[in-house]
A and B are shown apart, each in its own frame.
Chain A
Amino acid sequence: MKVTILVLWIVVIIELAVGASVLALASIRTVPQLPDVELNDPLVMPQLRELAQEAEASGSEEWERLGAALVGKGFYVHAEPAYREALRQDPQNFAAQFGLAFSLDRSGRIEKASAEYRKLLQLPTPSREDQAIVYHAQYALGRNALRTENAADAEFLFQQNAGYPPADYQVAKLRIRSGRAEEALPIIESNLRSTPHSLEFHFLHHRALLELGRPREAFEAAAMEERSTRLLALNFNTEYVSPLDALTGLAPMLRALGMATETEDVRRIEQIGTRFKSRLAGQPVFVERMVDDELLKVAVRNKQPRRVLELLEQIRSTGREDHVTLEREGDARGLMGQAEAAAELWQRAALLAPSLRLHEKLADHYKTRDVDERDRHLGHVALQRGIAEYRANRLEAAIPHLQEAARMLPEDPDPWYYLAEMQFHLGRLSEAQDAYRKTFELDPGHGRAAAMLSHLAAAPENL
């Protein structure tokens, strides 16, 4: 019994000591700091408070998650202490280290941000996914040197990241701007070999060739810009923040809506959209228009014209009127058998933003009513198809559509201009010249056709 009592005394004393230290530590624990603000998205602040409670009770990862959620909603300065606490508890927390640097970066504390990016580069890289963060951090260091107008340091830092296309772009650009276009060309050409349709590198190519006094080649580089669709991630901020934004608030609902839209799951779109709007309870948020557009589309697809008109009434009460609202009202009027009213609304929508879909609707409307008008819209359908093929870099596929458009729209210079562009890019310069000439005949104000004609005329041996 005495031994038991002795053991129990020891246990109690240890418990008291541990308990006291636990409570002492609790009394000096870091308390999360949240912004004192009300947002129209009603979910954000309660969710942030929940994350803050978890962080207070747990460890580095939870603090990092709180920091990420704060950055996602633009609360950079409140994210900073969350990330600092995460790092205090675990100095190797890679995501927290990047988050801290980013929070300082976006809140304008450039030198401090760079110091934290440098610390990140000293950490062991834990996963392959994090390797991308390392590139971003190195690139951010270069960007920060640019932000403090230190071009020499920036060039050096970007060179440390050579082979990473955004860094290559910056090095080439710095060289062109400082009169060293000759030194920029190899970088540009190497990147164009690996990414032939890189918009930014064609842009730099154009500028470098101009600097070097090679205007004909510069002209052709500029022409290549027009059909280049690959974009570099020159500013990774949005790319980094997007998933963090989706951590809280209505953003996950929007993501789910996007997925339902992709799979054309009409029922789910309606469910999510309706829930989204009821959560907002009339408070405006900018992204609500995406939800409205989807709900309108679903109501048209479900052949519910009254529902479309109800939604439009709500939308228009906020002052919104655009090609979407006009087109959808036209759809509703069409469903209600008011064909003339529908056509008038579609015409107005097409005036604001012409699209293949609108011209198809109008062609269908005039099918038996007015053949000339029908053919005019069918001509525009062909033109839109041709342009879409061109933008997707399918030049040969664009040609038959454009030829059809040229036949159906004999007074319109656009089909001829785009045909000329196709032929030019396909190297059929004589055909291109004929088509540019036709464009110019139809529209004497077409300066781009005139410029192409002079360019081609300057080298008749190529024709």
Chain B
Amino acid sequence: MLGRLALLIALAIGIPVGVSLVKPHVPSFRQPAEIYSGGTTYPASPVGFEFRELGPPVAGLPLITNVQIFDFDADGQNEVIACDALGSRVLLLERQEDGSWEESVLIADVSVPAHATVVDIDQDGDLDVLVSVLGNMMPDDGVIGRLELFERRGDQFVRHVILDNVRRVADAQPGDFDGDGDIDLAVAVFGYSRGAVLWLENLGDLVFRDHELLNAPGTIHVPVGDFDQDGDLDITAIVTQDEEELWGFENLGDGEFRARRIWMTVNLDLGGAGLVSADLDSDGDLDLILPAGDNLEDFDAYPQPYHGCCWFENQGGWEFEEHRISDLGGTYAAAVADFDGDEDQDVALVSLTNNWLEPQNASVVWLENDGQQNFTTWQVAASPLHLVTVAAGDLDGDGSADIVAGSLNVRRPHRRLGRISAWINEGKIAP
């Protein structure tokens, strides 16, 4: 009896103790909830692209805001011009005979350069450089932007501030807008809560007078071209932030413009990220290509269903028809070129904020045009991450269109880092 009593007492004490000891180690048989994945990935490109990091190896968190492919020294071979916001400078990358790339500082001491425009602004036969100065990478509504002209004099550049006391400047594009034979400028003052689209009238002697075309925050790019095919140059602009509007400024002559809102969306979260003009359908007029996926207002952005790329087909008479041609999450920049050599225009896109938790999600894609403007998306790369700028052109002198892109590493994860990256077109891969 006593033995039974002792056993029962031991059980009465032991069972709760045992249960509490065992409980944390009991495996759960519940099926874990499925984790949603909103990123985008695509089939591998049928055109081969060989990856190259241009310039020195990555150190720290590079902040490249713009890349362009341009034959800067007119030697028949393209260079890469890059804006380095981290180093406050504009870089020139030149291909060497052994195929390597050498980097040098083209212009130093420019505060967060957003764009470098190469143009012979004083028409003296050499190339000058206009730098659009943001002044701060982070959201800032201060009057800290500038447009700085670096006038080429022999081997030197001489600095002239041609637009000051404005908010952050994101882009400047040249054109003779008033038909007086000199080069004027269209300027995107991005700002933050306040901004503007301006045109600067060239008064001679490197003096420019600013004229406001539109008062709106978040203007990123101002492509210039004869959009209405009436023989003079017009200006277009993408206005982002909460506005998300596409504007055209029809040149009426004598420095007069008619503002036309070409398109808008009420979707304040679209994230318009730039604007490219090109004749995408090869019908002889200029279309517009809008990459969308800028959600930098979030600490950690995630792909949204409306991210991607829109092609605005020029129908004439300032009518543009919208076509959505890509759904790449976090799309930040676009470039147009014929990547597969079939004589139609394709599009390269890069992503700043795809879902980077999934290692296979795309950071670079190209959209193959079937000639009828039906586009198939092909993945070029899933690394490096955080790409904000892309350009297309022949980097290796073989006549095919290569891709160069720049990384802006401001957001997590700080992994798979890049700086100035290139993908050299190796032609179609045999099936």
Q: Is the CB of B5 within 8 A of A8?
A: yes
Query: Hey, which chain A residues are within 8 Å of B302, CB to CB?
Result: 74, 76-77, 106-108
In residues 1-50 of chain A, which contact B (Cβ within 8 Å)? Answer: 1, 4-5, 8-9, 11-12, 15-16, 18-19, 22-23, 26-31, 33, 35-40
Q: Is the CB of A39 within 8 A of B212?
A: no
Query: Hey, which chain A residues are within 8 Å of B305, CB to CB?
Result: 108, 110
Looking at the complex, which one of B11, B38, B62, B298 makes contact with A319 (CB distance below 8 Å)?
B62
Q: Which of A8, A22, A74 has the most CB of B within 10 A?
A: A74
Query: Hey, which chain B residues are within 8 Å of A447, CB to CB?
Result: 198, 200-201, 209-212
Query: Hey, which chain B residues are within 8 Å of A242, CB to CB?
Result: 299
In residues 414-463 of chain A, which contact B (Cβ within 8 Å)? Answer: 414, 417, 443-448, 450-451
Q: Is the CB of B212 within 8 A of A80?
A: no
Q: Is the CB of A417 within 8 A of B299?
A: no
Query: Taking A39-B413, A319-B62, A352-B88 as contacts, is the C-beta distance between A225 and B306 under 8 angstroms?
Result: no
Give the distance in Å from the alpha carbon of A36 to the alpha carbon of B9 in the complex: 47
Interface stretch of the complex, out of B26-34, B273-281, B365-373 = B26-34
Looking at the complex, which one of B35, B37, B264, B415 makes contact with A177 (CB distance below 8 Å)?
B264
Looking at the complex, which one of B38, B159, B212, B357 makes contact with A37 (CB distance below 8 Å)?
B357
Query: Taking A320-B60, A445-B210 as contacts, is the C-beta distance between A12 and B15 under 8 angstroms?
Result: yes
Query: Hey, which chain B residues are within 8 Å of A446, CB to CB?
Result: 209-210
Query: Taking A8-B9, A222-B215 as contacts, is the C-beta distance between A27 and B27 under 8 angstroms?
Result: yes
Query: Hey, which chain B residues are within 8 Å of A4, CB to CB?
Result: 5
Q: Mark B205-233, 1 if CB is under 8 A from A, else 0.
A: 00111111001010000000000000000
Q: Mark B170-206, 1 if CB is under 8 A from A, else 0.
A: 0000000000000000000000011000101101000
The answer to the question of A212 belonging to the interface, with a C-beta cut-off of 8 Å to chain B, is no
The answer to the question of A206 belonging to the interface, with a C-beta cut-off of 8 Å to chain B, is yes
B133 to chain A, nearest CB (A): 9
Looking at the complex, which one of B12, B60, B299 makes contact with A15 (CB distance below 8 Å)?
B12
A109 to chain B, nearest CB (A): 7
In residues 229-270 of chain A, which contact B (Cβ within 8 Å)? Answer: 231, 234-235, 237-238, 241-242, 245
Q: Is the CB of B298 within 8 A of A284?
A: no
Looking at the complex, which one of B22, B201, B304, B357 makes contact with A108 (CB distance below 8 Å)?
B304
The tally of residues in B whose CB lies under 8 Å from a CB in A reads 84
Q: Is the CB of A28 within 8 A of B28?
A: yes
The answer to the question of B242 belonging to the interface, with a C-beta cut-off of 8 Å to chain A, is yes
Give the distance in Å from the alpha carbon of A286 to the alpha carbon of B62 in the complex: 10
Q: Is the CB of A241 within 8 A of B299?
A: yes
Query: Hey, which chain A residues are within 8 Å of B84, CB to CB?
Result: 319
Q: Mark B108-152, 1 if CB is under 8 A from A, else 0.
A: 011100000000000000000000000100000001100000000
Closest residue of chain A to B111 (Cβ to Cβ) is A352
Give the distance in Å from the alpha carbon of A268 to the alpha carbon of B30 in the complex: 48
Interface stretch of the complex, out of A118-126, A147-155, A368-376 = A147-155
The answer to the question of B314 belonging to the interface, with a C-beta cut-off of 8 Å to chain A, is no
The answer to the question of B297 belonging to the interface, with a C-beta cut-off of 8 Å to chain A, is yes
Q: Mark A314-328, 1 if CB is under 8 A from B, else 0.
A: 000111111100000
Give the distance in Å from the alpha carbon of A233 to the alpha carbon of B198 in the complex: 28
The answer to the question of B106 belonging to the interface, with a C-beta cut-off of 8 Å to chain A, is no
Give the distance in Å from the alpha carbon of A143 to the alpha carbon of B266 in the complex: 9
Query: Taking A27-B26, A106-B298 as contacts, is the C-beta distance between A451 and B212 under 8 angstroms?
Result: yes
Closest residue of chain B to A110 (Cβ to Cβ) is B305
In residues 1-54 of chain B, which contact A (Cβ within 8 Å)? Answer: 1, 4-5, 8-9, 11-12, 15-16, 18-19, 22-24, 26-30, 32-33, 35-38
Give the distance in Å from the alpha carbon of A177 to the alpha carbon of B110 in the complex: 38
The answer to the question of A283 belonging to the interface, with a C-beta cut-off of 8 Å to chain B, is yes
The tally of residues in A whose CB lies under 8 Å from a CB in B reads 92
Query: Hey, which chain B residues are within 8 Å of A445, CB to CB?
Result: 162, 200, 203, 207-210
Q: Is the CB of A283 within 8 A of B111?
A: no
In residues 97-135 of chain A, which contact B (Cβ within 8 Å)? Answer: 106-110
B322 to chain A, nearest CB (A): 12
Q: Is the CB of B297 within 8 A of A27?
A: no
Dominant SS among interface residues on chain B: loop
The answer to the question of A392 belonging to the interface, with a C-beta cut-off of 8 Å to chain B, is no
Closest residue of chain B to A322 (Cβ to Cβ) is B88
The answer to the question of A199 belonging to the interface, with a C-beta cut-off of 8 Å to chain B, is yes
Q: Is the CB of A448 within 8 A of B210?
A: yes
The answer to the question of B74 belonging to the interface, with a C-beta cut-off of 8 Å to chain A, is no
The answer to the question of B412 belonging to the interface, with a C-beta cut-off of 8 Å to chain A, is yes
The answer to the question of A200 belonging to the interface, with a C-beta cut-off of 8 Å to chain B, is yes
Query: Hey, which chain A residues are within 8 Å of B165, CB to CB?
Result: 414, 417
Q: Is the CB of A353 within 8 A of B210?
A: no
Q: Is the CB of A284 within 8 A of B415?
A: no
Query: Hey, which chain A residues are within 8 Å of B15, CB to CB?
Result: 12, 15-16, 19
The answer to the question of A146 belonging to the interface, with a C-beta cut-off of 8 Å to chain B, is yes
Query: Hey, which chain B residues are within 8 Å of A286, CB to CB?
Result: 61, 409-411, 414
Give the distance in Å from the alpha carbon of A143 to the alpha carbon of B111 in the complex: 35
In residues 66-109 of chain B, which contact A (Cβ within 8 Å)? Answer: 84, 86-89, 109
Looking at the complex, which one of A19, A27, A35 makes contact with B18 (CB distance below 8 Å)?
A19
The answer to the question of A307 belonging to the interface, with a C-beta cut-off of 8 Å to chain B, is no
Q: Is the CB of A22 within 8 A of B23?
A: yes
The answer to the question of B384 belonging to the interface, with a C-beta cut-off of 8 Å to chain A, is no
A7 to chain B, nearest CB (A): 9
Q: Mark A365-394, 1 if CB is under 8 A from B, else 0.
A: 000000000000000000000010000000
Q: Is the CB of B194 within 8 A of A225?
A: yes
Q: Is the CB of B414 within 8 A of A284?
A: yes
The answer to the question of A196 belonging to the interface, with a C-beta cut-off of 8 Å to chain B, is no
Query: Hey, which chain B residues are within 8 Å of A417, CB to CB?
Result: 165
Give the distance in Å from the alpha carbon of A323 to the alpha carbon of B136 in the complex: 11
Give the distance in Å from the alpha carbon of A110 to the alpha carbon of B211 in the complex: 41
B57 to chain A, nearest CB (A): 11
Query: Hey, which chain B residues are within 8 Å of A165, CB to CB?
Result: none
A373 to chain B, nearest CB (A): 18
B271 to chain A, nearest CB (A): 11
Q: Is the CB of A321 within 8 A of B35?
A: no
Q: Is the CB of A78 within 8 A of B415?
A: no
A52 to chain B, nearest CB (A): 12
The answer to the question of B265 belonging to the interface, with a C-beta cut-off of 8 Å to chain A, is yes
Q: Is the CB of A146 within 8 A of B28?
A: no
The answer to the question of B300 belonging to the interface, with a C-beta cut-off of 8 Å to chain A, is yes
Closest residue of chain A to B18 (Cβ to Cβ) is A19
The answer to the question of A57 belonging to the interface, with a C-beta cut-off of 8 Å to chain B, is yes
Looking at the complex, which one of A39, A352, A353 makes contact with B412 (CB distance below 8 Å)?
A39
Query: Hey, which chain B residues are within 8 Å of A400, CB to CB?
Result: none
A116 to chain B, nearest CB (A): 14
Q: Mark B278-311, 1 if CB is under 8 A from A, else 0.
A: 0000000000000000000111111111100000
A353 to chain B, nearest CB (A): 6
Q: Is the CB of A318 within 8 A of B357?
A: no
In residues 77-105 of chain A, which contact B (Cβ within 8 Å)? Answer: 77-78, 80-81, 84
The answer to the question of A180 belonging to the interface, with a C-beta cut-off of 8 Å to chain B, is no
Q: Is the CB of A450 within 8 A of B209?
A: yes
Q: Is the CB of A444 within 8 A of B298?
A: no
A201 to chain B, nearest CB (A): 12
Query: Taking A8-B8, A146-B268 as contacts, is the C-beta distance between A80 and B87 under 8 angstroms?
Result: no
23 residue pairs bridging A and B, Cβ less than 8 Å apart: A12-B15, A19-B15, A23-B23, A26-B26, A35-B357, A37-B357, A39-B412, A77-B37, A77-B357, A80-B36, A107-B36, A107-B302, A108-B38, A143-B268, A234-B268, A283-B414, A317-B60, A319-B62, A320-B60, A322-B111, A417-B165, A445-B203, A447-B210
Give 8 nearest A-B pairs by CB, closest first. Answer: A74-B300, A318-B60, A447-B210, A8-B8, A19-B19, A15-B15, A81-B33, A352-B111
12 extra A-B contacts, CB within 8 A, seeds A173-B242, A174-B266, A238-B298: A1-B5, A18-B19, A26-B26, A33-B33, A77-B35, A107-B36, A225-B194, A237-B297, A241-B300, A245-B299, A321-B88, A444-B209
